[in-house]
Chains A and B, each alone.
Chain A
Amino acid sequence: MPRAYPLPTDLSPATVTNTKSLVRIVAFALISGAAIASRLFAVINFESIIHEFDPWFNYRATRVLASKGFYEFWNWFDPTAWYPLGRVVGGTIYPGLMATSGVIYNFLQAIHIPVDIRNICVMLAPGFSALTAWSTYMFTKEMKDESAGLLAAAFIGIVPGYISRSVAGSYDNEAIAIFLLMFTFFLWIKALKQGSALFGTLAAVFYFYMVAAWGGYAFITNMIPLHALALLLMGRFTNRLYVAYSSWYAIGTLASMQVPFVGFQPVRTSEHMGALGVFGLLQIVAFVQLVRSHVSSKQFNNLLFALAVGAGVVGTVAIVGLTYMGWIAPWTGRFYSLWDTGYAKKYIPIIASVSEHQPTAWPSFFMDLHFLIFLFPAGVVLCFRELRDEHIFVIIYALVGSYFAGVMVRLMLTLTPVVCISAAIALSTVLDTYIDPSEPDLPVPEADETSGPSETTTDAPKKTKKDKTAPPPTSSGASVTELLSGMVVTPPSTSKKGAAKEKKTGIFGTDTRLAVILNAIGMLMFFVVHCTWVTSNAYSSPSVVLASHNADGLQLIDDFREAYYWLRQNTPETAVVMSWWDYGYQIAGMADRPTLVDNNTWNNTHIATVGKAMSSSEEVAYPILRKHDVDYVLVIFGGLIGYSGDDINKFLWMVRIAQGVWPDEIQEPKYFTPSGDYRVDEQASPAMRNSLMYKMSYYRFHELFGGGQATDRVRNQVMPKTGPTLDYLEEAFTSENWIVRIYQVKKEDPLGRDLKTANAFDQGKKRKRTRPPVRRRSAA
């Protein structure tokens, strides 16, 4: 009985099963704990605060939902956004996220746990990450077994690619969407495997939830049909496929149309036509199959085949024809930009300007996925080995996901689950092979004893993951001591593996086993270290509050909130604030003031108007500001403390977007120096120096340096000795570190002069301000 190490033989199968499920539950509890805990860096390092940009809108909407109720929220028209247009909020959002936290809030209130709605919003993403881990476990279990499922759950729980969108406070649609994505896929696989209309219906219901929660639902809308089509083309049509797909599509499509923002799109846009086409195709194929089962004559079969092909062709022609007739909307620009990465830059600068729409840089794959990215292809190859229907799904998902992740940074999020799943399949296959104690000579290992080690498989990596875990089951306890003794006694030798190949494939001895297993454990440990490091350093910044390290230690820079609260407390409630669209949601959420444009970006012309105002001279911008009732203009300036995400760095996008609408008035090349550089110092082009953005950013900047050299620390350029002057705006507020600067738009001169001459008159006579030298020169 050749065994690499002895196994206890006196265990009853019931004990093994019970221990297995206990270990699984404990491991799962620990995974959930780790998933939630690692997302709390943001709260611990900073505070319980909503992050970034979009979450502020979601938070604001959720507050409306929680305080005014669902119907009020559904019919909410927000007159303060996109001033003066307003925004029909209920019909232009995916309400799933707000509804989810609204339900949780009301439930907690009902059982008398008074939790602030903000804390629910902050903690929603970590909470759902535990659910994501669970659904990934269920999904992977369908692919391989429980041990692979646990590995996958542990991976998705702490992998930075998913944490980047789900830290505490990152209250965005993705927070719940990835759970819904994985769970819908799991239900689809389950429906397909069993041929059950129940799981098909459940998949449709969760698909509906997904549609209500995230615009990325189109990924499911196309992944499932793609899978069905692949199965069809591979000749794997079964009635199970028919049942699963038909029940999912028929109910899911109708359900998705209940979301007002989606409306009739599922029957009227090209993005959704693939699913419809596959649905029709499946009906034809199923019908042909049914008829064939009754008649088996050869010639009749040919006739049927022709009929089916004919129907398919007619269907395709009908869809194409309807597209040309304009009944079905053709592909949108966002879709084209997925295939041609240069498309958006040429035609839709507003999409290209968003930082998360940039193509992914290579290092970020390693940064976000660490060693999983190496195991990922191995897992996909292992899927080919069995190639059951569900494995084809993983393969297709892997291909599609990798492509999209390469095109856009934000789509790394959709790739992450499949990477975790296939890496878990690969790693658990390796561990299964090397922990299994049976050696090649043994013909067939006994059933209950192989189950022992497979449980060790799930257990061992977990143990390294979180230093504390369940007490190891008796069987693995014995095996670990044996392994340890083997490590001490036997020197590692590689010749044994070669010998094994001559007889029969398998692994001899404990040394080879140990080498592989320790390697795997080492990788897992580095993975954990890497994940923790990346999470705490890169992905846990709220970006509303900044942190800087200097000699005194950590310093918090709270300029944004300082400025937004200044607006809230010192301006009338109706004061319209103009800023670049990035800050629209934050102004609405924190300052509670009307904004011209915000992160919803639905109206390109309106954004271009703001871009034009920012990039043209004061004289041109002033009428625009007045026409839009702008009272305050807000700019972000990082030149003083070196905050690189400021408006001057985003300025070229404003110019480009404005140029898209007014090509005669705004031209991008004018903002560069003759040598083609983008500069802000002495050599800056006249258009640049006269632009409102430049003036607002650097107004009085040189005064800070008391006659010394004024240096912009972001762009490392020395500023001119004389700063820009403002005639139509006046400085209203500048935050502590100068990150946020707010200017008030002056009203028209009461005497009817234009403001420039009025200013010159004032300065010539009265010397209102304490900067005579500068002003006098400019006035003369």
Chain B
Amino acid sequence: MAGPKATAPVKGTSSSTSSSSSPSAVQTLWKAYLDHTAPRLKFIDSFLTFLVLSGVLQFVYCVLVTSFPFNAFLSGFASTVGQFVLTASLRSQVNSENRTLFKDVSPERAFADFVIGSVVLHFFVFNFLG
């Protein structure tokens, strides 16, 4: 697992805001997650959380305020969704538990795929912003 550094620009603010409710099941889940996840994956997860929040924010804005430049909303929202799934893909590809699934994709290759996918995605995002 000599993987590459995930260089995504993350604000480290929102990494632990997901669950605060009472049921013990959720607490055990949270504990299991903290115990059994590699730091690198946690790092990716924090980026994912940021993307989810950003997407939710845009969606709420679109519903409550205006969707007027609809293409702008779509491209912003699609950029968070697209980046989310690309990052989630990267996460599952570099996850050592999934090593048997991804025989053809080494962690290095996974990161290269991630970068290329993101570049293509954002090319379309910028083209669509209007």
Contact = CB atoms under 8 A, between A and B. Distances in A.
B86 A250 contact: yes
Interface in A251-266: 251, 253-255, 257-258, 264
B97 A254 contact: no
Contacts of B29: 291, 294-295, 300
A251 B98 contact: no
B89 interface: yes
A247 B85 contact: yes
Given A239-B102, A250-B86, A201 B124 contact: no
Interface string A56-86: 0000000000000000000000000000000
A201 B117 contact: yes
Contacts of A297: 25, 28
B41 to A, nearest CB: 10
Contacts of B109: 196, 198
B103 to A, nearest CB: 8
Nearest to A204: B120
Given A238-B101, A254-B121, A264-B74, A198 B32 contact: no
A161 interface: no
Contacts of A253: 78
A293 B38 CA distance: 14
B124 A255 contact: yes
A197 B121 contact: no
A24 to B, nearest CB: 23
B113 interface: yes
B72 to A, nearest CB: 12
A197 B114 contact: yes
Interface string A388-402: 000000000000000
A205 B120 CA distance: 8
Interface string B89-104: 1101100011001101
Contact of A250 (B25, B33, B74, B85): B85
A303 interface: yes
B98 A239 contact: yes
A303 B109 CA distance: 36
Interface in A477-492: none
B78 to A, nearest CB: 4
B113 to A, nearest CB: 4
A240 interface: yes
A194 B105 contact: yes
A126 interface: no
Contact of B90 (A197, A286, A291): A197
A96 to B, nearest CB: 16
A247 B25 contact: no
Contact of A201 (B25, B74, B97, B116): B116
A251 B101 contact: no
Contacts of B82: 250-251, 254
A639 interface: no
B81 interface: yes
A254 B117 contact: no
B53 interface: no
B7 interface: no
A267 interface: yes
A243 B92 CA distance: 8
B124 A197 contact: no
B32 A197 contact: no
A644 to B, nearest CB: 49
- Category for how many chain A residues contact B: 35 or more
Contacts of A295: 25, 28-29, 32
A195 B104 contact: yes
A239 B33 CA distance: 19
A348 B44 CA distance: 53
B89 A293 contact: no
A251 B25 contact: no
Contact of B121 (A238, A242, A251): A251
Contacts of B117: 197-198, 200-201, 247, 251
What is the predominant secondary structure among interface residues of chain A facing chain B? helix
A242 B36 contact: no
A246 interface: yes
Contacts of B61: none
Contacts of B10: none
Contacts of A246: 85-86, 88-89
Contacts of A195: 93, 101-102, 104-105
Given A246-B88, A251-B82, A295-B25, A196 B101 contact: no
Q: Which of A293, A294, A300 has the most CB of B within 10 A?
A: A294
B29 to A, nearest CB: 5
A688 B98 CA distance: 74
B74 A196 contact: no
A238 B101 CA distance: 8
B75 interface: yes
Contact of B101 (A198, A239, A267, A286): A239
A251 B32 contact: no
Contacts of A247: 85-86, 89, 117
B64 to A, nearest CB: 16
A197 B88 contact: no
B113 A197 contact: yes
B75 A264 contact: no
Contact of A198 (B33, B78, B88, B112): B112
A672 to B, nearest CB: 51
Contacts of B70: 264
Given A242-B92, A243-B92, A250-B78, A294 B113 contact: no
Nearest to A303: B25
Nearest to B70: A264
A267 B81 CA distance: 14
B97 A293 contact: yes
Contacts of A200: 89, 117
Contacts of B71: 257, 264
Contacts of B97: 293
Contact of B113 (A198, A238, A254, A293): A198
B28 A251 contact: no
Given A197-B114, A204-B120, A246-B85, A254 B101 contact: no
Given A243-B93, A251-B117, 11 more contacts: A194-B104, A196-B113, A197-B110, A205-B120, A238-B101, A239-B98, A246-B89, A247-B89, A254-B125, A264-B70, A300-B28
28 contacts: A194-B104, A194-B105, A195-B105, A196-B105, A197-B86, A201-B113, A201-B116, A201-B120, A201-B121, A208-B124, A239-B92, A239-B101, A239-B102, A243-B93, A246-B85, A247-B85, A250-B81, A250-B82, A251-B117, A254-B75, A254-B78, A254-B125, A257-B74, A286-B88, A286-B92, A293-B97, A295-B28, A300-B28
Interface of A: 193-198, 200-201, 204-205, 208, 238-240, 242-243, 246-247, 249-251, 253-255, 257-258, 264, 267, 283, 286, 291, 293-295, 297, 299-300, 303
Interface of B: 25, 28-29, 32-33, 36-37, 70-71, 74-75, 78, 81-82, 85-86, 88-90, 92-93, 97-98, 101-102, 104-105, 109-110, 112-114, 116-117, 120-121, 124-125, 127-128
